[in-house]
Amino acid sequence: MNMRATTLGGIAEDAPTMSEAQRNWRIAAIALLSTRFIQGFIYWGGGSRRFIYAPSKLDPSAPSWMANKFQTAMPGALFGTDHLISFMLTHFYLLYAGVILFSAAELIVGAMLMTGLLTRVAALCSMAFSVLLMAMFGWQGATCIDEWTMAACNLAMGASLLLAGSGAYSLDNVLLHRNPALAGKQWFRWMSGSLPLPQTDSGFRKLALAVLAFVVIFNVGTYNYYRGSVLTSFHGGPVSPTKHHLTLSQAELLPDGSVRFHVYLDAGTPEAPVHVVAAELLNNDKHPVADWDAAVLSKLPKTDFANDYAYNRFEPGPFGIRAKMGAAATVTLPVPASGTIAGARYIQLTDVDGRTFSATLGSNP
């Protein structure tokens, strides 16, 4: 390549001497300037909000602490990231370090993309962020899969920048202008964006098609999993982002007549908590034999809630039992004041929308 044509001032002057391939590549890189800047701004904005404009997101004592956001994502997270989130939520120092490092990485990668510094490295990192965010939060969105849409677009944008680079208007190009010998360095060609990738036309085509295949398969595949509308009809997803769902397990009658069970809020919107307004014991015929109404549930002591996580929790609320998305706890209900535990076979909870959730009772003699 004509090295003078890689400098800002020499582009127009040297354009007549550039080959058609060089000129087309340069035009493509310049055409992606807005994409590069906005892709960078998106990630820079995520990091800067936490470090500069809304530092409460990094304050474990604040309601907006990022751990709460992670916990809301846990029920629908893919590829085992739900187990990773659960592990981090129970190991504070690992969680805090992870939040800080991810926020710093977003800030740095965003700044690198906006300025065009090691553009292809930054673009690859942004693709990794998009995959991670899509796997963790992609299922959420009350009216559409909002988190998936943003991450899917960012994945495609990052892929384009990885292949096309940053062109003339970048710090990569400034480095090349100051040290033209970098043009002969393989690592610089692969990591920066001021020059085309060091590949033949055939090799570049194969790489571009491989990147396209990954982006299409991952984006379309996750969309089909979350909502269908590709290989199947539209559906609400394996985990509903709109309707709260409670999974009850390990339910048992205790010797003193109280009832203990584990409950997990594993579906629904993080924008509003679930309200459990009634609990009942049912016999084999699913008829109630004892109950706890909203007034009783709202007065339960907090010691009756052994929460799995320190962030989103089950707790007594003004209308019964309240919990935010992703909360999980072992709950103990006192001996029912009305009815009898004799013949009780199931424990059933009813939320404010009238939905019921139940589990079979064991015994703990």
Q: How confident is the model at residue 364 (pLDDT cuts 50, 70, 90)?
A: low
DSSP state of 67: H
Question: Whose structure tokens read 């590949």?
Answer: 199
User: Please, what is the Cα angle at 149 between 145 and 155, to 5 degrees?
Assistant: 140
Strands in the chain per DSSP E: 245-253, 259-267, 274-282, 288-292, 305-307, 314-317, 320-323, 328-333, 338-339, 346-351, 356-360, 362-363
Q: What integer is the mean pLDDT of 69-95?
A: 95
Q: How confident is the model at residue 317 (pLDDT cuts 50, 70, 90)?
A: very high
Q: How many CB atoms lie within 10 A of CB 148?
A: 23
Give dist(CA 139, CA 158) in Å, integer.
21
- Report phi then psi at 141, rounded to 5: 135, 115
Count of positions (residues) in the chain = 365
Closest CA to 61 of 313, 321, 310: 310
Exposed / middle / buried, residue 24 (Cβ in 10 Å: 0-12, 13-18, 19+): exposed
- Extract the tokens encoding 208: 């571009």
- Report phi then psi at 331, rounded to 5: -110, 140
Strands in 197-351 per DSSP E: 245-253, 259-267, 274-282, 288-292, 305-307, 314-317, 320-323, 328-333, 338-339, 346-351
Which of 116-125, 305-314, 331-340 is predicted with the least confidence, judged by mean pLDDT? Answer: 331-340
Q: What integer is the mean pLDDT of 236-241?
A: 88
Give dist(CA 277, CA 351) in Å, integer.
5
pTM of the model: 0.87
Mean pLDDT (the chain) is: 90
Tens-place pLDDT, residues 26-57: 777 788 999 999 999 999 999 999 999 999 99
Tens-place pLDDT, residues 113-144: 999 999 999 999 999 999 999 999 999 876 67
Which of 30-34, 91-95, 263-267 is predicted with the least confidence, judged by mean pLDDT? Answer: 30-34
On the question of pLDDT at 152 being above 90, the answer is yes
On the question of pLDDT at 8 being above 50, the answer is no
What pLDDT score was predicted for residue 1? Answer: 42
Q: What integer is the mean pLDDT of 174-192?
A: 92
Q: How confident is the model at residue 201 (pLDDT cuts 50, 70, 90)?
A: confident
Q: What integer is the mean pLDDT of 207-232?
A: 94
Strands in 44-160 per DSSP E: none
Give dist(CA 132, CA 106) in Å, integer.
12
What pLDDT score was predicted for residue 19? Answer: 66
Kind and range of the H or E run holding 61: none
End-to-end alpha carbon distance in the chain: 83
Residue type, 224: N
CA 207 to chain centre: 28
Cα→Cα distances 168→164, 310, 335, Å: 12, 50, 75
Give dist(CA 89, CA 92) in Å, integer.
6
Q: What integer is the mean pLDDT of 208-225?
A: 96
% of residues, the chain, pLDDT over 90: 75
Classify 338 as helix, strand or coil. Answer: strand
